[in-house]
Amino acid sequence: MFGFFSDSFLFFGLRISYYGIIIAVAMGLGVWLACKNARFRNVKTNDLIIAACYVLPLAIIGARIYYFVTNLNMYTSFWQIFEIWKGGLAIYGGVIGGTLGVGLYSLIHKKNFFDIADVVVPSLILGQGIGRIGCYFAGCCYGMVVTDPKFQWFPLSTFLHGEWHLSTFFYESIWDFATFAVLMLLLRKFKIKQRGAISAWYLIIYGVGRAWIEALRGGEGGDSIRIGPVQVSLVLSLILIVAGIVILLFYYFWFKKHPEKVVQYNFQKQDSTKGEILIEKPEEQNPKKREVKFFRKKGKAENKTGEKNEDNKKED
């Protein structure tokens, strides 16, 4: 009824993989974080919850299809694509599926794609970092064989399938957490207002890291997805880098030519009691006192203490 194994545990007769638990935790944290970051792109929390209903299922479907298509030699029947409990997910497929989910949500609900994407990518890279820890338990995503005993120690290398391999899943996890820290600084501390900039930096930084890590996975005995001699993930990494640079340059020159179209985010604060959005606006400069007020989009203006301003007093 109960038991623990190298890759899973038994709970009331049901075998649950550690990898699945880790992925579920990563998804939950990702949605929570996206809701916290929503105000930096003037996105409501409720909109993020709805967007997650598009993104998460399509990310899982994309991850499964990508893995299935790039490993057709492992399967004898099309119906095996549905046996997801046996493992077989690829992060790039998840990224592609999640991107389609953001696009579909934006199209149906008439939202700007990059406003949603800029909020989502810090959650995405955090989830990728956590998910790579699950690769240790699943015994996948490792690098080339390590034959020199001097380098046969964890976390530099890992003993898997009777051999020592480079711990590329661990390298990528560290890279992902570092990328997460950079994106959070850009979004929350430096408050970069350029629409799509956070998404572009995700593509560039993650693409660079994944490219050199994928090169380590492509050596002898490495666990790398290939179509013939081509390392698919390495090619996609290079495409991500180029796409990120193109997005940054496009918006830079576009806004330079059309400064009137620069998006001005107000970095909204959420009213937890009424679910209303509060936009921070500084009052006119006063040599003696500078007061900051918050204005509700709907309703009467109030300052931080909830007192009505002079205009509302007159209306009363």
Output the six-digit token pair for 278: 């509060």
Contact, 186 vs 197, CB < 8 A?
Answer: yes
Q: In Å, how far are 6, 37, 119, 131, 233 from 30, measured between CA atoms?
A: 26, 10, 10, 11, 23
Q: In Å, how far are 5, 83, 233 from 88, measured between CA atoms?
A: 19, 9, 15
Output the six-digit token pair for 39: 């105000």
Rounded Cα distance, 263 and 41, in Å: 10
Predicted local distance difference test score (pLDDT) of residue 223: 84
Predicted local distance difference test score (pLDDT) of residue 298: 52
201-223 in b/e form (b: 16+ CB < 10 A) is bbbbbbbbbbbebbbbbbeebbb
**pLDDT tens for residues 192-250?**
888 899 999 999 999 999 999 999 998 778 888 888 888 999 999 999 999 999 999 98
Contact, 155 vs 136, CB < 8 A?
Answer: no
Q: Across residues 93-103, what is the average pLDDT? A: 96
Taken in order 64, 219, 231, 59, the sign of the CA dihedral is: positive
SS3 69: helix
Residue 260 has pLDDT above 60, yes or no: yes
Q: Give the residue with greater pLDDT, 220 vs 311.
A: 220
**pLDDT tens for residues 51-90?**
999 999 999 999 999 999 888 888 888 888 888 877 788 9
Rounded Cα distance, 37 and 187, in Å: 8
Predicted local distance difference test score (pLDDT) of residue 254: 79
Listed by start position, the domains of the chain span: 2-261, 269-315
**pLDDT tens for residues 271-309?**
433 433 333 444 444 444 444 454 455 544 444 445 545
Secondary element (H or E) of residue 19: helix 18-37
SS3 74: helix
